[in-house]
Amino acid sequence: MNILIADAMSDKVVDILRSHNLSVDVKTDLKTEELRGIIGGYHALIVRSATKVTRDIIEKADNLKVIGRAGIGVDNVDVVAATEKGIVVMNTPQGNALAAAEHALALMFAVARKLTLADSTMKQGKWEKKALMGIEIQEKTLGVIGIGNVGMIVAEKALALGMRVTAHDLYVSPEIARKKGIILVDLDTLLKTSDFITVHVPMLPSTRNLIGKDALAKTKKGVIIINAARGGIVNEKDLYEALMSGQVSGAGLDVFEQEPPPADNPCVMSEKVVCTPHLGASTTEAQLKVAIDIANQIVDYAVHGVIKNSINVPPVSIEVQRQLSPYIALSERLATFISSISEFPIEAVEIEYMGDISEVETKILTQAILRNILAPHLEGVNYVNAPTVARSRGIKIKEVKGKEHEDYTSLLGIKLTHGKIERAAYGTLLGKKAPRLIRLDRIAVDANLAGNMLLTYHQDKPGVVGSIGTALASKGINIGGMHVGREAEGGLAIALLDVDGKVSDEVIKELQAVPNVIEIKRIAIS
């Protein structure tokens, strides 16, 4: 196997790979055209965050089997394009969590005590002691948005420092949080009550601009905002305006919407903001660990045929994957669908396998289901660790099997619950290949599980679906297909619309204003 290391990392990576008789080239700082020109000669590619593995590059990677990302985030890799080409994408979800958590806390201290400004003025020969009054963090409230690998470490260390910690996370049980000393709250409560707010969620359509104008207006006056997760989760323009108005007293930013940010970025230039150049994982220990982890994972794949920490492929042999492929597609798409429409803390996941699907290796399917439920909300979740992550968050997992179903050759059901709140979706394979949604809660429906969709909950009244279609048409949004169902005449009804392209927040607000519409949900299934 020929392996290309495209980003700088520890020499131990090369030593580990070559000790297993693997061919390794180290070529860093390649331009996009240079990488496109040589990628066809390699079977494996190892990167950190600098190299962008785009669709254009992947299209030229005719021999590439695996992409290894030394780190947790894979936003620099086009995972969809890799999956389409049959390329395994791996990450190292645990290696840099501590470093990222410590950096978030370092930013919090630096902002609270105005350390960078103090250092800067000292180097100018000034003694600004009176002007640099800070605040203590003890007995202050830290709001943590997302308590996954990194967020949980931040919360635990903040508690040890004498802070009160609240958190917003739909995928951790109140019992688990309570045992840690963390109080789970809704997002609005966290915004209104926190003295410090730190974000630790992945960059997704649902988290882009999560801390924007509306959210900042709800915060306690004088709050301090920390972002050491991903650029774009905090809207920099809105943050700067809040800093200027005094709504936000200070901020610590390690990540930016554009990296590196423009020289005239107002947040970077502001004395109220402590900025660092994406240093969250930049410790000697973290970089060594993730480098060794990815090297060992590439060895496992190349030498032993074992897939570990894959983002896009279940950990099975190619032969088994081919046999399970239709069922995996159904499992993943149905899980993505129900996760997209379930905006409540999940306490339990119940999976029903009925008919032929119950006879295959359902362990792999359960891993795929849990991964697709959790991954949109938690960074670092993959096919291997998804069950462990779910259980560590107090989520109960139950499988129910039946060898036959009276109506379908294979039937898959996924039910998510929180207390008395329950949401269930059922799917099957059309022609043993095409995943279909056949029921949502108690409403029968027949819809594709692919592409961009809108799900409407509405009262079964004349003209509702027509009004929705008219509203979309007025915005130039085409409907490729429509699937409707209802509980009873005049009762609760749903419509699933296949739409060409993404629908903006503004359009969603307009659709929600249509008479008799209860709720609109956006769903994207690749």
Convert 256-309 into a string of H (helix), E (strand) and C (coil): CCCCCCCCCCHHHHCCCEEECCCCCCCCHHHHHHHHHHHHHHHHHHHHHCCCCC
Separation CA 326–CA 313 (nearest Å): 13
Report residue 142 CA to chain centroid gap: 22
Q: Does the pLDDT of residue 313 top 80, yes or no? A: no
Contact 427, 435 (CB under 8 A): yes
Report residue 223 CA to chain centroid gap: 26
Contact 231, 204 (CB under 8 A): no
Report residue 511 CA to chain centroid gap: 26
SS3 248: strand
pLDDT score for 96: 86
Separation CA 145–CA 164 (nearest Å): 14
Contact 91, 377 (CB under 8 A): no
Q: Does the pLDDT of residue 84 top 90, yes or no? A: no
Separation CA 324–CA 317 (nearest Å): 11
pLDDT score for 43: 96
For 490-505, write each residue's pLDDT tens digit.
999 999 999 987 888 8
Q: Does the pLDDT of residue 478 top 80, yes or no? A: yes
Burial of 254 (0-12, 13-18, 19+ CB in 10 A): buried
pLDDT score for 316: 61
Contact 421, 454 (CB under 8 A): no
> 86 versus 400: which is more confidently predicted?
400
What residue spans define the domains of the chain?
A: 1-94+284-312, 97-275, 314-436, 442-526
pLDDT score for 93: 83
Phi/psi of residue 461, each to 5°? -125, 150
Q: Which CATH architecture has domain 97-275?
A: 3-Layer(aba) Sandwich (3.40)
Q: Specify the residue for token string 């030394």.
A: 70
Separation CA 523–CA 455 (nearest Å): 7
CATH of 442-526, one of 3.30.465.10, 1.10.3720.10, 3.30.720.210, 3.30.70.260: 3.30.70.260
For the annotated catalytic residues, the residue numbers are: 230, 259, 278
DSSP 170-209: TTS-HHHHHHHTPEE--HHHHHHH-SEEEE-----TTTTT
Classify each residue of 323-340 as buried b or exposed e, where b means 16 or more C-beta atoms within 10 Å of its C-beta: ebebbbbbbbbbbbbbbb
- Asked whether this chain's domains 1-94+284-312 and 442-526 adopt the same fold, the reply is no
Strands 396-402 and 348-355: parallel
pLDDT confidence tier of residue 317, bands split at 50, 70 and 90? low
Question: Minimum mean pLDDT among 74-78, 155-159, 374-378: which range?
Answer: 374-378
pLDDT score for 240: 98
pLDDT score for 506: 86
CATH of 314-436, one of 3.30.1330.90, 3.40.50.10490, 3.40.50.720, 1.10.3720.10: 3.30.1330.90
Average pLDDT over residues 112-117: 96
Contact 381, 93 (CB under 8 A): yes
1-94+284-312 is a CATH 3.40.50.720 domain? yes
Q: Does the pLDDT of residue 216 top 70, yes or no? A: yes
